[in-house]
Amino acid sequence: MQQEPPTDSSGFRFTPLVVVELASNVKEETITWLLSRIRDQQQNGGAELFAEQLGPSVEAQEKENPNVFLVGASWQRLLSGAEDVGLFKEYNDGSMRGFTRANKHNFKDFKGDGDGFLSMAECQYIIKHELETLRAKDETHVPGHSQAKLYPGKSIIRRLLSKGLLVQIFPLHEKEELKRLSFSWYKKVKLSLQPLDDIRHYYGEGQALYFGFLEYFTFALVPMALIGVPYYLFDWEDYDKYVVFAVFNLIWCTVILELWKRFSASLAYRWGTLSRKKAFEEPRPGFHGVLGFNPVTGREEPVYPTAKRHLRIYLVSLPFVLLCLYLSLYVMMIYFQMEGWALSVHDEDPTFWTGILLFIPSIIYAVVIEIMNLIYRYAAEFLTEWENHRLESSYQNHLVLKVLVFNFFNCFASLFYIAFVMQDMVLLRQSLATLLITSQILNQFMEAFLPYWLQRRRNKKMIRKVQKKRTLEDKELPLVEQVRLEADMSTYLGTFDDYLELFLLFGYVSLFSCVYPLAAVLVVLNNITEVYSDAFKMCQVFKRPFSDPAANIGVWQLAFEAMSVIAVVTNCALIGMSPQVKAYFPESETQLILWTVAIEHGLLAFKFILTFLIPDIPKHIQIKLSRLEFESLEALKKKKMLEAAELSKTFQ
Amino acid sequence: MQQEPPTDSSGFRFTPLVVVELASNVKEETITWLLSRIRDQQQNGGAELFAEQLGPSVEAQEKENPNVFLVGASWQRLLSGAEDVGLFKEYNDGSMRGFTRANKHNFKDFKGDGDGFLSMAECQYIIKHELETLRAKDETHVPGHSQAKLYPGKSIIRRLLSKGLLVQIFPLHEKEELKRLSFSWYKKVKLSLQPLDDIRHYYGEGQALYFGFLEYFTFALVPMALIGVPYYLFDWEDYDKYVVFAVFNLIWCTVILELWKRFSASLAYRWGTLSRKKAFEEPRPGFHGVLGFNPVTGREEPVYPTAKRHLRIYLVSLPFVLLCLYLSLYVMMIYFQMEGWALSVHDEDPTFWTGILLFIPSIIYAVVIEIMNLIYRYAAEFLTEWENHRLESSYQNHLVLKVLVFNFFNCFASLFYIAFVMQDMVLLRQSLATLLITSQILNQFMEAFLPYWLQRRRNKKMIRKVQKKRTLEDKELPLVEQVRLEADMSTYLGTFDDYLELFLLFGYVSLFSCVYPLAAVLVVLNNITEVYSDAFKMCQVFKRPFSDPAANIGVWQLAFEAMSVIAVVTNCALIGMSPQVKAYFPESETQLILWTVAIEHGLLAFKFILTFLIPDIPKHIQIKLSRLEFESLEALKKKKMLEAAELSKTFQ
């Protein structure tokens, strides 16, 4: 029997958690069917959730979509959902354990019937999971939309999404929570660490790990920045100090990346995602193929041969990426030619107009790079979509790899060219500084202030609209308006671009650190403002994202490590090329190069050994994990002993 | 109640599986106590096994140890032990699953009461496990030997071993099985693959994986050998062919190591060790420390601070190893000086005696190296023991690392010196061939024929001794004599030395492959005889070892991979130094070196990408593993649903 939902003060009979927006042209029949499936009992294959249609806003317009639904659930349902998604919570003894209802009273903070035990972000994640695992029974298509085919076991929500019948699902903000969070995060004046636990509580582990990484990365760069300042101020260019700085940087980069792994494991343990088992991943909405049987689940689902996907990756995507890299190289060569030409014109006849001409190539190059980045991003998304990956995670990895390589190339190719082909260290330092500073300013503007300004305008319009109808107490919007407002907010597209930005900054710091020691200082300053602007945009500009139970920063750890390996090579080469070092080997360049290569190999070997020696998980966490495993083994053994004893009694 | 053991034809009342030999000076009191603990029921903390004293042999001598015991178990006990050790067996549907008695009839080959379901090696492993987990209750010391302290939870067998009261535990051979195995393995004439499944059945997974690796490695080298032959025969020394061969070798080495991982995963899956959970590891017998509490189990056991161990490793062991490496380098330099001196003497006055003088340095050097290896091995064992590792696996890893580095250095330092300091390719080729061939011959002799000859003599003496007393039918020894004979056989010390030998051979093939293409041919030939001699020594020379449920070749995979990375560096350097390549860059040596370094970096990068791209576990096994996990998740979910349904019924 469906429980009667409690009545809420806002007129709703339950606390709304998630918003489901269907397309405005969806048939009435479809809506009735979907709602009944969502509300139906689990035994009958339903999701057993509460769902209600959102009423029209104060001043309903023609174009307003009526098909917006609010979804919630009873506490009982949420607790059973927590078990389904394998949520880890803190146990009485301080360890983290998978939540089970049978054991619920042994969990810390579990009081009464469990009200308040789960955070709102967790509840929303559970509802999302339950909606996504709502499967078709014997329907062959979505009622009312015969083009949206279904087969037993297919996730209904994913089919609706892929057919465009479902516009979006998003979790609601909590106004009070958000105010508190944003105050402790970026609004208060005194300097302090970010409230990572609160961020995780509100936005989930994936977000919190990004902000944790951003903060960690900033602190980790402080020693490099501090050491870099005197190099810049006093123009130290002796051989020894140079080498000392570079070697320190290289080892430091390795150490901080390794220590981050340990720190992130601590965070993930505390947040319960470290040992949480990943549920079996569903095919992503865009995945298509011939209907077959999944070899793992035995369920009917589309199947697409891996060999075909590999052909697409290696015969189309890979050549395409290589072609783009070549093109980017070609554009760079044109830029250097243009610059050479402008310089020669200016040298011949130095007037005001030829002085301006000097800037033209850089501006054109910058614009072309931005355009190329944009086009490439679309192409990469298209190609990765076309590769038809079954899992969202594999799709993301392939996309990240493609975009990463191209962005790395676009950002650093010109610097590499200046450093190793032109061998002009002064120009290198200049270009590095220019690129670093302009990209930082541009980023901050594009990322936070522009969307904020747009959002603010929209916000004000809404408030004005509401105020026309009635006077508002303390400027709070009623729930209906709030939902409409949030539905119109931009969607947060994940941490991809944020990590990419950090990755490129890390490149500026590490690749050419011995040439421009001030880079670390600039990046530290940038990161401090980045914390504020990112926090601000999360809280004010974007829809609340669903939380994502991440245990680490994933493919980005690998990307940062790859960058630190490349940094060893470039720094060794730069030092080998510096005139101070060259002066040590006046008679033989061969000797110099051999020494440089030998030192480089030694550093790389040392780096790998260091990576190997520092354990990825801190010992106290390792002990806690082993203890949990040991206890479950012992419990199993005890159970077996009891069974055996009973068995032997039966035989006697 | 203790079941009455069945009477065996050999006069024993059960099938003896494992031999326990106590020291001859152990008190009667101790023996009574130990036997009662072994025979006692599990509920009372006993091992619930059968144990009987072995009678005196036909012609009992004064010095014969009377304290030899045979241990066996009932089928019921062995099946419950199989559950304790987490044995994986084949299920009805062809997948591998952890054995449980509750589910026993769904396992393939389980018939009747389970007689014959477990192989003898598995039974012996189970008995070893049960003996090792026999724990002290409230005894404060071993009865009769007050110096052998005990505390609740301490493994009795390990304490007896560490105090020298227990001489050895070993599993018995099965004469019939062994005859069959040795016939199909190395006695039959026609060429075929090794019977890996039978080897695993008799010796366990660790052994079988070694022989699997040996065979795989041999086959993998065949293409290199085939390509190498024409290079040697026709003296091809063109630039292109040279480079092609080297590049092929490097990629091939990477590919075969990656494919081995996949192959070994297939084997380990088939043998049920791939997903078998490791039981909680007990401290090794030699481990000592202040009595404290294990943070994982909460049991009382010796505790030794990790920081202290790290100090010992980094402040004593590491400097010691470096000093030894330096010493080895020093000895090598003396050798080259002596050789130079002998050569100059011979050049001045070439007589027969100075001709002999030419060989003296090599002989002295070879002898000194052997002595150094021997002394170092003892030192390494002493140091690793002194480092006081808690786990046997960690002890083994540290020992392997120490021995590996020193052996690598001793074997290859002179070759590196010839190649890169003297730059004498003809001498390099010569030394390589000499080292490879002599070490192979020496190894085969020391490893198989010598022990065999010794064993044969011992064997004959025993048969003669028995025949004095009575005439034997078909030369079969009675059980008592058989046990005494096996107790006197050499103990097999694990696969360490076998892998080390393969590792060094791999070094000869890969490090200088472009200089001496015939190396692969020699190694292939060596490996073919190695299969036979190793098989022979396992079957005839050594005591049967306990099986070891390995899922892979462990630290050796890493060692081989490290070698293949070093091989890229040396081969690139060798090619860069060859006169044919130098001729391409007549004007500038710098260009040549830069190109060499660039290509080397490219190859290394390619190698890492390749390692990353080839999945470690074949897809069909990945699917089977995921299916198992998925099924257990689904079963859990179903169980929860039923519980919830019942709960809701109760409330209605």
Instruction: Choose among A593, A629, A633: nearest Cβ to B590.
Output: A593
Report yes or no: A42 at the B interface, CB cutoff 8 Å.
yes
pLDDT value of residue B5: 46
Number of helices (H) and strands (E), helices first, in chain A? Answer: 22, 10
Among B280, B563, B646, most A C-beta atoms within 10 A, so best to mutate, is B280
- DSSP H helical segments within A204-238, as ranges? 205-234
CA A95 to CA A108: how far, in whole Å?
10
User: At A5, is the pLDDT very low, low, confident or very high (cuts 50, 70, 90)?
Assistant: very low
**Partners of residue A295 in chain B, C-beta under 8 Å:** 623, 627
Of B481, B492, B442, B479, the closest CA to residue B458 belongs to: B481
Tell me whether residues B641 and A42 touch, CB distance under 8 A. yes
Residue in chain A nearest B609 by alpha carbon? A562
Counting one residue from A and one from B, how many pairs have CB atoms under 8 Å apart? 72
- Contact by Cβ (8 Å): B323, B353: no
Instruction: Choose among A279, A569, A590: nearest Cβ to B589.
Output: A590
- Contact by Cβ (8 Å): A38, A71: yes
**Partners of residue A633 in chain B, C-beta under 8 Å:** 277, 279-280
Of A626, A553, A627, A551, the closest CA to residue A273 belongs to: A551
Instruction: Choose among B296, B590, B623: nearest Cβ to A589.
Output: B590
Residue in chain A nearest B588 by alpha carbon? A590
Residue in chain A nearest B76 by alpha carbon? A644
Tell me whether residues B597 and A593 touch, CB distance under 8 A. yes
Among A130, A613, A630, A652, most B C-beta atoms within 10 A, so best to mutate, is A630
Residue in chain A nearest B591 by alpha carbon? A590
CA A126 to CA A120: how far, in whole Å?
10
> pTM for the complete prediction?
0.87
Chain A window 578-597: which residues touch B at a Cβ cutoff of 8 Å? 589-590, 593-594, 597
**H/E element holding B215?**
helix B205-233
Q: State how far residue B78 is from chain A, nearest Cα, in angstroms.
A: 13
Regarding predicted confidence, which is higher, A449 or A630? A630
pLDDT value of residue A438: 81
Tell me what the mean pLDDT of segment A491-519 comes to. Answer: 86
User: At A461, is the pLDDT very low, low, confident or very high (cuts 50, 70, 90)?
Assistant: confident
Tell me what the mean pLDDT of segment A153-176 comes to. Answer: 88
Tell me what the mean pLDDT of segment A514-528 comes to. Answer: 85
Among B423, B614, B640, B646, most A C-beta atoms within 10 A, so best to mutate, is B640
- Contact by Cβ (8 Å): A13, A5: yes
Query: Rounded mean pLDDT of chain A?
Result: 84
CA A312 to CA A497: how far, in whole Å?
26
Instruction: Choose among A80, A101, A623: nearest Cβ to B295.
Output: A623
Place of tokens 């085939």: B226
Of A220, A214, A207, A211, the closest CA to residue A254 belongs to: A220
Residue in chain B nearest A296 by alpha carbon? B627
Tell me whether residues B297 and A633 touch, CB distance under 8 A. no
Instruction: Choose among B601, B637, B644: nearest Cβ to A569.
Output: B601
Chain A window 533-572: which residues touch B at a Cβ cutoff of 8 Å? 569
User: At A647, is the pLDDT very low, low, confident or very high (cuts 50, 70, 90)?
Assistant: low
> What does pLDDT average to in each consecutive run of 10 residues of chain B (652 residues)?
43 80 89 91 86 73 79 89 86 84 84 82 91 86 88 85 89 87 78 85 91 93 86 70 77 90 93 79 78 81 88 94 94 91 87 81 83 91 91 88 91 90 84 83 75 75 65 60 82 86 90 82 87 84 87 90 92 84 80 89 91 89 86 74 67 58
Say if residue A158's pLDDT is above 70. yes
Instruction: Choose among A101, A296, A597: nearest Cβ to B597.
Output: A597
- Contact by Cβ (8 Å): A266, A622: no
pLDDT value of residue A250: 82
Regarding predicted confidence, which is higher, A101 or B401? B401
**Partners of residue B644 in chain A, C-beta under 8 Å:** 42, 80, 101
Tell me what the mean pLDDT of segment A342-358 comes to. Answer: 84
Chain A window 505-534: which residues touch B at a Cβ cutoff of 8 Å? none
Report yes or no: A296 at the B interface, CB cutoff 8 Å.
yes
Q: State how far residue A6 is from chain B, nearest Cα, in angstroms.
A: 19
Tell me what the mean pLDDT of segment A228-248 comes to. Answer: 74
Say if residue A184's pLDDT is above 60. yes
Tell me whether residues B590 and A594 touch, CB distance under 8 A. no
Query: pLDDT tens across A431-455, in order?
Result: 888 888 888 887 777 776 777 777 7
Tell me what the mean pLDDT of segment A413-441 comes to. Answer: 85
Report yes or no: A622 at the B interface, CB cutoff 8 Å.
no
Chain A window 268-287: which residues touch B at a Cβ cutoff of 8 Å? 277, 279-280
Residue in chain B nearest A651 by alpha carbon? B1
pLDDT over 90 percentage in chain A: 23
Tell me whether residues A84 and B637 touch, CB distance under 8 A. yes
CA A114 to CA A82: how far, in whole Å?
12
Residue in chain A nearest B84 by alpha carbon? A637
Report yes or no: A649 at the B interface, CB cutoff 8 Å.
no
Chain A window 77-96: which residues touch B at a Cβ cutoff of 8 Å? 80, 83-84
pLDDT value of residue A10: 47
**Partners of residue A46 in chain B, C-beta under 8 Å:** none
Report yes or no: B310 at the A interface, CB cutoff 8 Å.
no
CA B249 to CA B243: how far, in whole Å?
10
User: At A179, is the pLDDT very low, low, confident or very high (cuts 50, 70, 90)?
Assistant: confident
The CB density around residue B571, as the number of other CB atoms within 10 Å, is 25
Question: In A89-105, which positions are buried (b, 16+ CB within 10 angstroms) versus exposed (e)?
Answer: bbbeeeebbbbbbeebe
pLDDT value of residue B9: 43
pLDDT value of residue A480: 81
DSSP 8-class letter at B204:
-
- Contact by Cβ (8 Å): A171, A128: yes
CA A67 to CA A54: how far, in whole Å?
8
Report yes or no: B649 at the A interface, CB cutoff 8 Å.
no
**Partners of residue B652 in chain A, C-beta under 8 Å:** 1
Q: Enumerate the β-bridge partners of residue A292.
A: A301
pLDDT value of residue B361: 83
pLDDT value of residue A475: 53
Query: pLDDT tens across A71-96, in order?
Result: 999 888 899 888 888 888 888 888 88
Among B99, B113, B590, B597, most A C-beta atoms within 10 A, so best to mutate, is B597
Task: Using alpha carbons only, give the angle A342, A343, A346 rounded to the nearest 5 degrees.
Answer: 85
Q: What is the ipTM of this complex?
A: 0.83
Report yes or no: B295 at the A interface, CB cutoff 8 Å.
yes
Tell me what the mean pLDDT of segment A522-543 comes to. Answer: 86
pLDDT value of residue A590: 83
Report yes or no: A234 at the B interface, CB cutoff 8 Å.
no
Dihedral sign for Cα atoms in the order B99, B102, B108, B112: positive
Chain A window 171-210: which residues touch B at a Cβ cutoff of 8 Å? none
Residue in chain B nearest A420 by alpha carbon? B594
Among B558, B627, B652, most A C-beta atoms within 10 A, so best to mutate, is B627
